[in-house]
A and B are shown apart, each in its own frame.
Chain A
Amino acid sequence: MTALNLKLLRDLWHMRGQALAIAAVIAGGVATLVMALSTYDSLVGTRDLFYRDYRFAQVFANLKRAPDGYAARLAEIPGVERLETRVVAVVKLEVEGFTDPITGVLSSLPNTGQPLLNTLHLKRGRWLTPYSGDEVIVSDTFADAHGLHPGDTVHAVINGKRKALTLVGVALSPEYVYQIAPGAMFPDFKRYGVLWMGRHALAAAYDMDGAFNNVSLSLTPGADEQAVIDRLDGLLARYGGIGAYGRKDQFSNRFLSEELKQLQTTATVFPSIFLGVAAFLLNVVVTRLIATQREQIAILKAFGYRHLAIGWHYLKLVLAVAFIGVAGGVALGAWFGQGLAGVYMELYRFPYLDYVLNPGVIAIALGVAGFAAASGTLLAVGRAVRLPPAEGMRPETPMVYRATLLERLGLQRLLNQPSRMILRHIERRPLKSLLTVFGIACAGGLMMVGNYQRGAIDFMVDIQFRQAAREDLAVGFIEPTSGRALHELAQLPGVRHVEGFRDVAANLRFGQYHYRSAVYGIEPDGLLHRSLDRNLRPVQVPPGGIVLTDHLANNILRVKTGDLLTVEVLEGRRQVLRVPVLGITRQYLGVSAYMRREDLNTLLKEGEVVSGAYLGHEPDAAADLYGRLHDRPRVLGMVAHAAAIKSFYATLGEFVLFFNMVATLLAATIAFGVVYNSARIALSERGRELASLRVLGFTHGEIAYILLGELAVLTLAAIPLGFLVGAGLCGILVVAFETDLYRLPLVLEPYNFALSASVVTVSAVVSGLLVWRQLGRLDLVGVLKTRE
């Protein structure tokens, strides 16, 4: 090994503490990247594999009822590869020992053999016996949530008739990877379940003998999906079809796609910020580190080493540190990634997880870290080699200090000599001080990015459920019902308030933009379900038009107040309506279109009709009320908000918590790395000066005050700046995270600031203690012997 390479290894070992701190900064950034991207790649890969292996259909349609023989007509549509008809029923479920309302979907399986499309992955138990009467297979989320096992019994109210069902298997389906009840905001595995039942038995119970109400199909390669959908709609119109749709609008797939899009954003934005900050810090740290090597660079030059050779020497040193950081970051990131993917698996039901760590991810990490390290090194080495060697070996000429601003203002009485030294030093090198402050501020800002989501979600939930959708319970009817039903509901014991609503599936269209959703007709002066203006104050829905929530209006349909929106109703007479947009309201969760109920009734040319009701009830009346509603044949399903919020925190909350914990941990690592390096480099830059002061009779404490006092001043300045940086970074995240599912508001809680400030402070204190120890080992005699 050459002498220079030996020097490299020994230098590395000598500066191992600092090298580890720098590596930690890089590892923090890289781990975020690896964690997020590998989780994303794994989930996308797993999804695609699952969809393919279990033949997830490509086009879906629901209708009222069509005779079995009609399926052959549908299969003749050009572009259809396989087509399967089913009976699908929305039912009320009962599980022993659980009183809350449960909505279930009963989906038919062929009487014998496996389905052509949307096949099931049987996790436990067995398949249905051919032509079985009461056997069901149940989704694993529902089985897990209630502790159900093959052999257990659940009850379903199908078409008003209560039927006992025997559970024989637990399964997963590509159709229900993300299980969320229609109309609900979050998955709730206890209160929503999917069950599969033999076609013969389900048709008998649901009055669908010899008929079907659901079609799914796959396409031949190269087929035009929209053309197939249009043909299907045409053929199903007279059988009560409510609009066929592709995978992109399929409920589970749409949520899954949105979540994956969100994750992709996470995988782009978080690592960009983390790695960007880490790269910046690495650059600053390396630049200063190399600057302290000025003398050695001068010697190498005097020996006749070329600039390139010297540059390469230091580059190897820094790249070695960067490589340690990248390796650590990849290992850590892969570990976190598997943990995160595990958390996702709780939410998305896949039969397996195909965890992949793409080599491209590692290449990105190496590239970014390598570039940051190399640019910092070459910049610093370039500056050092430009010095003539004779000058480089001489001690640096004393810097020109000036009286500080405070002193020029005549306030020097307030400062003792060491304090003046601190201030003069900071003021003498403003750019370096500024970079240090900015570096620490970035680290503090990252801390805020790591944990701001929690407060934002709390705020979002509070606005949604305590300001906008304040009902305790939303009740859906089997079909649109006369407004008189509301009076009946109001008479139930414990009910305080009832507001009816009419919702209708519709395609909203403006110019080239469209969105498949529903239009909600609500009470204009409702107390329970309200719209909020941009300042989050309740506003009435004005008469004669439609009100859209902000994300739907601004980002999806791109419509302004005053524009005419086309509403293609997907039910009943399937009218196409032109409705003026009268306002845009604020909503963080989901997207909605609201009208006055009476206006919607009028447009649909129906009388006073409701499709459901929002209820406010006494807190202790819940169980009794659930029972009474459950027994009403016209009540199809119920969503209880308190339960929804609880289940949200239990599932999504777990993910957010995990992610926040990891991000915060990595941010804290970066913060410590930066602060420690700032302190260490200050020590190597000023070690000689401080040792001289010790020789002159300054105590250990006094010189520590000079060095650490500067660190303290810079840290104190960095904390508020870090708040600004953090708020800015969170602002970027807010914009990046806008999806149909939810938009996080930019809400920063006092604890966000407190955590940022305290991590930076603790890092500074620990670094200070480490440097304090090193100050005790300053070589006083050495200072006397050499130069100055």
Chain B
Amino acid sequence: MAEQDTVFRARGLTKIYRMGEVEVHALRGIDLELSAGELVVLLGPSGSGKSTLLNILGGLDTPTSSEVFYLDRNLSAAGEEALTLFRRDHVGFVFQFYNLIPSLTAKENVAAVTEISRSPMRPEEALRLVGLGERLDHFPAQLSGGEQQRVAIARAIAKNPVVLLCDEPTGALDSATGVIVLEALEKVNRELGTLTVLITHNAGIADMADRVIRLSDGKIVEERRNATKKSARDLSW
């Protein structure tokens, strides 16, 4: 990848949580570069630091030491307001438990984000992209888990983000449904060229990535490029 395509850059990233009297070292010196259009899978067991890393990249959390750059912007030095605008304009999130607003329909959940974005797509368009063009007016409670997660993906991509951050997007789903969700992510990555970072502890999913980064105990223990990417349709676990 060419240097100018680098979206995120971090050196020696650490994060320490203080839980009462205990210090938890969530990240212990991570060096990382992520480039535009990549599909990156972060692998690792619970507590390995994947979510912490993702949250810091998405501006939901700040590192304890060292710096993270988004393009030429230093996120570690950004204030609350700057981080809010960063999230609003550049980042799409997909969470394990969908986190839809229960009182809003699929379309309205997407609209809640597009209403504050600079150049969003129409909510209907985003939902069509994830294959939910027919379920615009359903409330979360009327949708299956896979459908809810696809609404969450539509919500995340509708703002045309530079980066899509997904924290265990299939973690709460069965394998068949999970594949449908992954197909949606794959399609977004391919068609919109969005840098997609996907957290999972499921090694099977890693085969669809351009690059796989394995974390353990707050450190990167392995980094590899897949010579041939598998299509999401061909995955199973």
Interface residues of A (CB under 8 A from B): 2-4, 6-7, 10-11, 14, 295-296, 299-307, 309, 388-391, 393, 397, 400, 785-787
Given known A4-B112, A7-B104, A303-B116, contact A390–B60 (CB-CB < 8 A): yes
A786 and B97 contacting across the interface, CB-CB below 8 Å: yes
A302 and B101 contacting across the interface, CB-CB below 8 Å: no
| Chain A residue nearest to B54 in the complex (CB) | A390
CB contact list, B57-80 vs A, under 8 A: 58, 60-61, 80
A296 and B97 contacting across the interface, CB-CB below 8 Å: no
Point out the residues of chain B lying under 8 angstroms from A300, CB to CB.
112
Q: How large is the interface on B (under 10, 10 to 19, 20 to 34, 35 or more residues)?
A: 20 to 34
Cα-based distance from A102 to B165 in the complex (angstroms): 93
| Chain B residue nearest to A392 in the complex (CB) | B60
Least distance between B168 CB and chain A CB atoms (Å): 11
Cα-based distance from A296 to B112 in the complex (angstroms): 12
- The interface-forming segment of B36-44, B83-91, B180-188, B218-226 is B83-91
Q: Is B115 an interface residue (CB 8 A)?
A: yes
A785 and B172 contacting across the interface, CB-CB below 8 Å: yes
Cα-based distance from A388 to B60 in the complex (angstroms): 6
Point out the residues of chain A lying under 8 angstroms from B95, CB to CB.
393
Q: Is B113 an interface residue (CB 8 A)?
A: yes
B108 and A304 contacting across the interface, CB-CB below 8 Å: no
| Chain B residue nearest to A299 in the complex (CB) | B99
Convert B148-171 into 0s and 1s, putting 1 for each residue whose CB lies closer than 8 angstroms to a CB of A: 000000000000000000000000
Q: Is B103 an interface residue (CB 8 A)?
A: yes
| Chain B residue nearest to A12 in the complex (CB) | B103
Q: Is B8 an interface residue (CB 8 A)?
A: no
A7 and B101 contacting across the interface, CB-CB below 8 Å: yes
Point out the residues of chain B lying under 8 angstroms from A6, CB to CB.
103-104, 108
Q: Is B191 an interface residue (CB 8 A)?
A: no
Cα-based distance from A4 to B88 in the complex (angstroms): 15
A305 and B93 contacting across the interface, CB-CB below 8 Å: no
| Chain B residue nearest to A782 in the complex (CB) | B141
Q: Is B6 an interface residue (CB 8 A)?
A: no
Cα-based distance from A303 to B97 in the complex (angstroms): 15
A389 and B60 contacting across the interface, CB-CB below 8 Å: yes
Least distance between A729 CB and chain B CB atoms (Å): 40
Cα-based distance from A397 to B19 in the complex (angstroms): 10
Least distance between B59 CB and chain A CB atoms (Å): 9
A–B pairs, 30, beta carbons within 8 Å: A2-B112, A3-B104, A3-B108, A3-B111, A6-B108, A7-B101, A7-B108, A11-B103, A14-B103, A299-B99, A300-B112, A301-B87, A302-B60, A302-B87, A303-B87, A303-B93, A303-B113, A303-B116, A304-B87, A304-B88, A304-B91, A305-B116, A306-B81, A306-B84, A388-B60, A390-B51, A391-B61, A393-B99, A400-B20, A785-B145
Cα-based distance from A390 to B167 in the complex (angstroms): 11
Point out the residues of chain B lying under 8 angstroms from A785, CB to CB.
145, 172
Cα-based distance from A169 to B193 in the complex (angstroms): 98
Q: Is B35 an interface residue (CB 8 A)?
A: no
| Chain B residue nearest to A4 in the complex (CB) | B112
B172 and A3 contacting across the interface, CB-CB below 8 Å: no
Main secondary structure of the interface of A (DSSP, over half): helix
Cα-based distance from A7 to B100 in the complex (angstroms): 12
Point out the residues of chain A lying under 8 angstroms from B58, CB to CB.
302
| Chain A residue nearest to B173 in the complex (CB) | A785
Q: Is B109 an interface residue (CB 8 A)?
A: yes
Point out the residues of chain A lying under 8 angstroms from B86, CB to CB.
304
Cα-based distance from A389 to B86 in the complex (angstroms): 14
Contact of B101 among A2, A299, A389, A391 (CB under 8 A): A299
Cα-based distance from A301 to B172 in the complex (angstroms): 23
Beyond the given pairs A10-B103, A302-B93, 11 more chain A to chain B contacts, judged by CB atoms under 8 angstroms and listed by A's residue number, are A3-B111, A6-B103, A304-B85, A304-B87, A304-B89, A304-B113, A306-B81, A307-B80, A390-B55, A393-B95, A393-B99
Least distance between A368 CB and chain B CB atoms (Å): 30
A388 and B81 contacting across the interface, CB-CB below 8 Å: no
| Chain A residue nearest to B56 in the complex (CB) | A390
Cα-based distance from A4 to B110 in the complex (angstroms): 11
Cα-based distance from A293 to B103 in the complex (angstroms): 13
Point out the residues of chain B lying under 8 angstroms from A306, CB to CB.
81, 84
A10 and B172 contacting across the interface, CB-CB below 8 Å: no
Cα-based distance from A4 to B97 in the complex (angstroms): 21
Point out the residues of chain B lying under 8 angstroms from A397, CB to CB.
19
Least distance between A627 CB and chain B CB atoms (Å): 81
Most buried by B among A11, A302, A787: A302
Convert B15-50 into 0s and 1s, putting 1 for each residue whose CB lies closer than 8 angstroms to a CB of A: 000011000000000000000000000000000000
Cα-based distance from A304 to B115 in the complex (angstroms): 11
Contact of B115 among A3, A390, A393 (CB under 8 A): A3
Given known A299-B101, A390-B55, A393-B95, contact A4–B115 (CB-CB < 8 A): yes
Least distance between B183 CB and chain A CB atoms (Å): 22
Point out the residues of chain B lying under 8 angstroms from A309, CB to CB.
116
Least distance between A382 CB and chain B CB atoms (Å): 13
Point out the residues of chain A lying under 8 angstroms from B60, CB to CB.
302, 388-390
B116 and A304 contacting across the interface, CB-CB below 8 Å: yes
Convert B88-132 into 0s and 1s, putting 1 for each residue whose CB lies closer than 8 angstroms to a CB of A: 110101010101010110001101110110000000000000000
Point out the residues of chain B lying under 8 angstroms from A302, CB to CB.
58, 60, 87, 93
Cα-based distance from A525 to B95 in the complex (angstroms): 91
Point out the residues of chain A lying under 8 angstroms from B91, CB to CB.
304
| Chain A residue nearest to B103 in the complex (CB) | A10
Cα-based distance from A390 to B62 in the complex (angstroms): 10
B112 and A390 contacting across the interface, CB-CB below 8 Å: no
| Chain A residue nearest to B123 in the complex (CB) | A3
Least distance between B117 CB and chain A CB atoms (Å): 8
Least distance between B13 CB and chain A CB atoms (Å): 15
Most buried by A among B80, B81, B103: B103
Point out the residues of chain A lying under 8 angstroms from B85, CB to CB.
304
Cα-based distance from A6 to B111 in the complex (angstroms): 11
Given known A296-B101, A786-B172, contact A3–B109 (CB-CB < 8 A): yes
Point out the residues of chain A lying under 8 angstroms from B93, CB to CB.
302-303
Least distance between A110 CB and chain B CB atoms (Å): 77
Most buried by B among A301, A307, A390, A400: A390
A7 and B103 contacting across the interface, CB-CB below 8 Å: yes
A10 and B116 contacting across the interface, CB-CB below 8 Å: no
Cα-based distance from A430 to B115 in the complex (angstroms): 42
Least distance between A301 CB and chain B CB atoms (Å): 7
Cα-based distance from A301 to B104 in the complex (angstroms): 17
Cα-based distance from A295 to B95 in the complex (angstroms): 12
Least distance between B155 CB and chain A CB atoms (Å): 8
A3 and B88 contacting across the interface, CB-CB below 8 Å: no
| Chain A residue nearest to B115 in the complex (CB) | A2
A390 and B104 contacting across the interface, CB-CB below 8 Å: no
Point out the residues of chain A lying under 8 angstroms from B80, CB to CB.
307
Cα-based distance from A400 to B99 in the complex (angstroms): 27
Least distance between A738 CB and chain B CB atoms (Å): 54
| Chain A residue nearest to B108 in the complex (CB) | A3
Most buried by A among B85, B108, B172: B108
Cα-based distance from A375 to B116 in the complex (angstroms): 27
Cα-based distance from A295 to B155 in the complex (angstroms): 17
| Chain A residue nearest to B165 in the complex (CB) | A302
A3 and B112 contacting across the interface, CB-CB below 8 Å: yes
Least distance between A439 CB and chain B CB atoms (Å): 28
| Chain A residue nearest to B58 in the complex (CB) | A302
Point out the residues of chain B lying under 8 angstroms from A295, CB to CB.
99
Least distance between B150 CB and chain A CB atoms (Å): 16
Cα-based distance from A14 to B85 in the complex (angstroms): 31
Point out the residues of chain A lying under 8 angstroms from B101, CB to CB.
7, 296, 299
